[in-house]
Copies of this chain bind each other. A is one copy, B any other.
Amino acid sequence: MKEVLPKFDSTFSIDCVVFGFDEGELKILLIERNEEPFKDWWALPGNIVGEDESLDQSASRILNELTGLTNIYMEQYYTFGDVNRHPQGRVVSIAYYALLRLGGEKSVKPLSTYAKQAYWRNVKDLPKLAFDHQKIFEKGLEKIKRRIKHQPIAFELLPEKFTLTQLQNVYEVILNKKLDKRNFRKKMLSFGVLRDLDEKQQGVSFRAATLYKFDKRKYAKLFGKEISF
């Protein structure tokens, strides 16, 4: 059977741009490579797709190995296949971005052997990256910039309960521009997808803000009606 398919040495891999939002900054996870090629360079987390894995499964696995978490929000966004992108042969890489809730942890336990360590790095201050990972990152960032305007992905970067100021912050950092507080709140609440939890922020040394939750149910009911920023 298989002999019908033309073959040459080639393989495919997944690379992930894992975004997190913390201390008012948008960050991504980078690993320090432990192996050739690009040993000791910084790189996006990624790996070869297994024989019995779909692409999504492979991305999930990689994210799980990296963070210990399951059910991470992720989305495939582009495939990179330049002939010489990998020095050891033809490797086509399918890129995913993932969005993570950071609860304050600064580092994620690195489980794989292919990395020394994983670190969160502010997207505004990235080191030189291995392979074509700079390009992959840039396209991923562009992607979420577009997507956050119409899709409810900002919530994936926040804890389940969040304040409107925190939410506005995510938008401002990703869109890279200041938004008007009153207008932001008016518009955001007008979509009717936030549930007021009748609960206040804890442990702040000033007036506590109301906590909200993203209501998937209500969002689903919007159907076509698009959120738009």
Which A residues lie at the B interface, using CB under 8 A?
Answer: 1-2, 4-12, 35-36, 48-49, 51-55, 76, 78-83, 87-92, 94
Contacts and interface: CB of A to CB of B under 8 A. Distances in A.
15 contacts: A1-B87, A1-B88, A4-B36, A4-B88, A5-B89, A5-B91, A6-B48, A7-B11, A10-B11, A12-B81, A51-B90, A52-B83, A54-B83, A55-B82, A92-B92
Contacts of A78: 76
A224 to B, nearest CB: 11
B51 A79 contact: no
Contacts of A10: 10-12, 51
Given A5-B11, A9-B2, A54 B81 contact: yes
B51 A8 contact: yes
